[in-house]
Structure 1
Amino acid sequence: MLNIIKLELKKYKLSGLIKGALIATSIIFLIVALLFFVKVDDELSFENVNDALILIDTAVRSVFIIYAASLISKLVIDEFKSKTISILFMYPVNRKKILIAKLLIIAIFTFVSIIFANTVLAILFYLINSIHPTLEDTFTLALIKKHSLTVLMNALSATGMSLIPLFFGMRKYSVPATIISSIILVSLFSSNSGGKSLNDIVIIPITLAIIGVLIAFFSIKNIEKTDLLL
């Protein structure tokens, strides 16, 4: 399994995936920085440090769920659509192991990227607020501990959710369906009404994460029955 993962990473160039994640993180930073300095009706987009961290976390998860969909398209859907995966299936390697390796790369990369981006952006936000104090409150040890746990749990649920577009992409081996479904998913869980979002209802992200894992499980289970001639 480890050898298959190494081959996949070599094939798709890990450096390219990391570069994409860094670019995504930079874009989120620019947007948050803009919100930090630009006021609407003499008010910032967030009232305190905690609100800012929540905004960063929501933006990070949204971006990387969509990024995960692009990876699913590239590592899985495209290969089925172009039939190039049939070449892999000709080797004496179990089909399930090949798909597991691909989905593990996507899941692990998504999880690590969300943790990394949240950490980097929180540090940058702290430095900006230290140099240019705008918010009255500041980082406290209690806040850092609480936010770290929240980020970890949200990263786990987002990783599970990021696999949901696989279901739509595998229907007709459609890249657009994969990407569009991820955008719709992000729009649903990150939509804000009265300061609350669906993600705040704990059972919803947990349920979506479980659904994502089940979709991956059944995709792997049924891979032996997949007809590549369609």
Structure 2
Amino acid sequence: MLNLMKLELRKFKIMGYIRSAVIATLIIFGFMMLMSYSPKMYGINVFENYSRVFSMIDVFVRGTFIIFAAVLLGRFVIDEFNHKTITVLFTYPIKRHKIIAAKLMVVIAFTFLCIVASMIILSTLYFVINSFTHFVSGELTLTLVLQHAAKLGFHALAASFMALIPLYFGMRKYSIPTTIVSSVIIVLLTCSDSGGFNLNDIIIVPILLAAIGIAVGYMAIRKIDQIDIR
């Protein structure tokens, strides 16, 4: 399985996606700086404490990389069916379900690592900048860091499986736009922030959506032998 995953990474030139993930992270950071600086000019404090900062980082990062995962699914899986290149892979002496499983594992692992890395980078950068600008008052304690680290880690894991849900819609007609649109809808439902609250804060919601994502991935792997590629 690991060898198949490595082949997928080389085949689709994963470094290009890593660069895109870095750019996305920098854009999020720039947006957070804008949100911190612009209201400050009018005496408004958007981020009243570090809890709010971590919450916004969580929302922005999860939303960005769930959509990013849909792009990967479109490129790694759906596009292969569209262009019939998947038939070449199926001629290899490797079971079909292992090939699809390797593709999905790459998407899950890449999404999880990107979310975690992005959250760490953004949190660190914001803390460093805030030590000079004082956008956020109050002290960043170890207890607060550990509490939010556990929460953000759970959200990252749930989001990486949740990101498989668009595969169900995309595979119906092998449509990449449908895959991406469905991921946007998921982001709007789970990442819409209202006064520091979003649906993802209700613990059963990310657990349920992650379970649905796992089920979608499992069914895609299980039914691959029944798909007739013409």
Report TM bin, short chain.
over 0.9
Instruction: Please report how far the alpha carbon of residue 194 of structure 1 lies from its aligned counterpart in structure 2 after TM superposition.
Output: 4.4
Q: What is aligned with 1:97? A: 98
The amino acid that maps onto 2:165 is: I
- Partners of 1:35 and 1:44 within 8 A in 2: no
Q: What is aligned with 2:55? A: 54
Distance 2:220 2:68 in 1: 20
Q: What is aligned with 2:163? A: 162
Q: What is aligned with 2:128? A: 127
Distance 1:194 1:126 in 2: 22
- How many residues align structurally? 229
My pick for the range that moved more, 28-37 or 43-52, is 43-52
- Partners of 2:62 and 2:191 within 8 A in 1: no
Distance 1:9 1:187 in 2: 29
Secondary structure in 2 aligned to 1:192? coil
TM-score normalised by the chain length of structure 2: 0.97
Distance 2:78 2:69 in 1: 12
1:165-180 to 2 correspondence within 5 Å? 165-180=166-181
TM-score normalised by the chain length of structure 1: 0.97
Distance 1:5 1:135 in 2: 42
- Partners of 1:38 and 1:44 within 8 A in 2: no
1:33-72 to 2 correspondence within 5 Å? 33-39=33-39, 42-72=43-73
My pick for the range that moved more, 186-195 or 128-137, is 186-195
The amino acid that maps onto 2:169 is: F
Instruction: Please report how far the alpha carbon of residue 24 of structure 1 lies from its aligned counterpart in structure 2 after TM superposition.
Output: 0.9
Distance 1:22 1:71 in 2: 15
Q: What is aligned with 2:13? A: 13
Identity level (%): 45
Could you say what the CA RMSD is over the residues aligned between the two structures, in angstroms? 1.1
My pick for the range that moved more, 174-183 or 191-200, is 191-200
Q: What is aligned with 1:225? A: 226
Distance 2:98 2:196 in 1: 43
User: Structure 2, unaligned stretches of length 5 or more?
Assistant: none
- Partners of 1:158 and 1:205 within 8 A in 2: yes
- Partners of 2:96 and 2:224 within 8 A in 1: yes
Secondary structure in 1 aligned to 2:171? helix
- Cα displacement string for residues 157-193 of structure 1 (whole angstroms, at most 9, x for unaligned residues): 1011100000010000000000000000000111233
Q: What is aligned with 1:78? A: 79
User: Structure 1, unaligned stretches of length 5 or more?
Assistant: none
